[in-house]
Amino acid sequence: MIRVTSTFSHSIVSAKNDLADAEVSVSLIEEVSRQTKILGAIDLGVGNPLGLPPKELRQTVLGASDKLHDYGDIRGISELRSAIAKMIQTRYLVNIDFERQIVITNGATEGLTASVLALLPQNSEVIIFEPFYSPYLDVVRLCGLIPRFVSLSPANGWQFSERELKEAFNSRTAAIILNMPHNPTGRVFNCSEMRFITDLCLQHDVICISDEVYDEIFYTSARPLSVIETPLWSNLAIKIGSFSKIYAIAGWRIGYVAGSPHLIAKILSAHEVLTGGAANPMQAAATAACTLPERYYRLSRQNYRRKRDLLYGEMSKLGFSGQLPQAGLFLTLRPPLSKAEDNEPIFQAMKVLREAKVGVIPLGAFYSQKDSETAGWWRICFARPTNQLKEAVKLMSKWIQAGEAIKTHISPTKN
Ligand code: PMP
């Protein structure tokens, strides 16, 4: 039995597991992933790149488990911090002092939490583009801050309105959370959009927390811009990075935060009390990841692009519509359904899961309240083996042909 404890807000779901008889409170993404496993369905929900990580990483982690048993440097092992600084230098031509400007975290998730906790005073406002990666709202609320939303419009290629963004900045604004490339839409802001955001941050002395976990997964000719390349970098910005996505090691939980020394010093103390440090063997593997040749990234991007195009093409044939993403691992599509949008996201997800045997994330999970334009849309992850994508398309096609998709929606109380 699934019970939604919030309204349309941040989609935290309270689920009573009938077997374990235990109450758990988790995000919608987590719950869909859990139910997908229980039902033996195909999971196109969670942004977990499935497949084996590179051999070099698996070998390093095995070797490292023979040593590296002690507490390490709370900032992270120096080899990894130094390797990240070198990657940043190569990619963005910016020098970083790895001793003072980088902390290794337990994934980007902890990097984000530690940063919000350490840098932003309670009761101040944080600007978030909507739709948003759902943990942003949870962490902002958990830390006693007030979210202020600026919408990205699907009708307008997921652009923001300059007027709306300008109006969101005020004397209580402490930060803006940027997510580039963007989850769920795959949007990459262009130079003039970045300049507009940068100017507002400088004008209002606002910190830019830039979540760039998909920075290596892009389908545009040029690499997406990073906050590192803006004038905010000297003292008003942090970049949050992750090893989860491009190296397919989401469960190894390694990420990092980079920024100016005074911001990193504060984040480090939050990181220390939250975690006591990141796992050393996994950090050793992440260091090995940094030495992979450029070819690895090129081939990964080609591979993801093929999967994106395959799934987009097949879903279009089934009547789904939406834009091809510029980056990242997700399609955001409007399904050929009727009425589903009346339902809460969790009931939409459970309906598709039970009837079509495919796990997807309703886009409503990425909004603070019901959005009339996109209610009923889905986020679908294409970072899956090709045979799984094809199987999911078959199941979806059967479901749609059987007319299940257009049946009157199930009442939440019956789920
Ligand atoms: N930010 C975004 C935008 C994400 O999509 C994700 C993963 N879904 C994360 C952060 C979390 O990354 P990590 O696994 O490094 O904690």
Nearest CA to ligand 1 atom 12: 108
47 CB within 6 A, ligand 1: yes
By alpha-carbon position, which residue is closest to atom 8 of ligand 1?
47
Quick: pLDDT tens for 274-293. Answer: 999 999 999 999 999 999 99
**Which pLDDT score is estimated for 339?**
55
Q: Is 131 in the pocket of ligand 1 (CB under 6 A)?
A: no
Of residues 346 and 272, more confidently modeled? 272
Q: Give residue 403's pLDDT.
A: 73
Question: 48 CA to middle of ligand 1, Å?
Answer: 9
Q: What is the pLDDT of residue 405?
A: 52
pLDDT for 413: 34
DSSP readout, 371-396? -TTTTT-EEEE--S-HHHHHHHHHHH
Q: What is the distance between the alpha carbons of residues 117 and 121, in angstroms, rounded to a whole number? A: 8
Q: Which amino acid is at 134?
A: S
Measured in whole angstroms, the distance separating CA 306 from the mean position of its chain's CA atoms is: 21
Atom of ligand 1 nearest to the CA of 29: 8
| Distance from Cα 377 to the centre of ligand 1, integer Å | 21
CA distance 281 to 322: 41
Quick check: 257 pLDDT over 70?
Answer: yes
Distance (angstroms) between ligand 1 centre and the Cα of 414 equals 33
What is this structure's pTM? 0.92
Ligand 1, atom nearest to 250 Cα = 14
- CB of 215 closer than 6 A to ligand 1? no
Question: Which residue out of 244, 274, 379, 380 has the highest number of ligand 1 atoms within 8 Å of its CB and is therefore the one to mutate?
Answer: 244
Assess whether the C-beta atom of 250 lies below 6 angstroms from ligand 1.
Answer: yes
Measured over the CA atoms of residue 87, residue 93, residue 94 and residue 95, the dihedral's sign is positive
- Between the alpha carbon of residue 374 and those of residues 236, 371, 379, the distances in Å are 33, 6, 11
pLDDT above 50: residue 16: no
Check if the beta carbon of residue 253 is closer than 8 Å to that of residue 245: no
> What is the per-residue pLDDT for 26?
81
Indicate if ligand 1 lies below 6 Å from the C-beta of 179: yes
Structure tokens at 281: 């063997």
As a whole number of angstroms, the distance between CA 322 and CA 201 comes to: 32
Quick one: which atom of ligand 1 is closest to the CA of 133?
A: 3
Please tell me what DSSP assigns to residue 414.
G
Please tell me the distance between residue 250's alpha carbon and the centre of ligand 1 in angstroms.
9
- pLDDT tens, position by position, 291-331: 999 999 999 999 999 999 999 999 999 999 999 999 999 99
Let me know: does 380 contact 330? Beta carbons within 8 Å: yes
**Cα gap 24→377, rounded to integer Å:** 26
Dist. CA 377–CA 316, nearest whole Å: 14
Whether pLDDT at 235 is above 90 = yes
Average pLDDT of the segment spanning 54-60: 94
255 touches ligand 1 (CB under 6 Å): yes
**Do the Cβ atoms of 80 and 397 come closer than 8 Å?**
no
Return the percentage of the chain with pLDDT > 90, whole number.
79
Task: List the beta bridge partners of residue 242.
Answer: 255
With a 6 Å cutoff on the Cβ, whether 230 touches ligand 1 is no
Report how far residue 190's alpha carbon sits from residue 326's, in angstroms, rounded to the nearest whole number. Answer: 11
Q: Which two tokens stand for residue 282?
A: 């996994």
> Does the Cβ of 210 fall within 6 Å of ligand 1?
no
Q: Can you give the pLDDT at residue 27? A: 85
